[in-house]
Amino acid sequence: MLGGKGAAYHLEFTSRAGHKASRAPTEDNLLVIYMPNRAGWMAAVARLENAGHKPVKPFNPYWDKKGRTFEDPDGYRVVLQNAGWDS
């Protein structure tokens, strides 16, 4: 579970033992993480790339303007967006 103490939000990842996850419904089903600090964003992208994860071309080219899209083996995508959430 991710979220700041006392924050009005959190993000929780769950799984079920013995249950295989299905493929993502489309290439545009995304989890977008907004990271306004450029140095922090660059460090996060570098950590993913250094761990062997290469960016993929997003379905919507908007996400390439200020972000990088990564796909997991099940086809689910995460965008690291170098912007505030209201941008």
pLDDT in tens, 23-75: 889 999 999 999 999 999 999 999 999 999 999 999 999 999 999 999 998 89
Place domain 30-81 in its CATH homologous superfamily. Answer: 2,3-Dihydroxybiphenyl 1,2-Dioxygenase, domain 1 (3.10.180.10)
pTM over 0.75: yes
Amino acid at 4: G
60 CB-near residues (< 8 Å, 6+ apart) = 28
Q: Determine the residue type at 20.
A: K
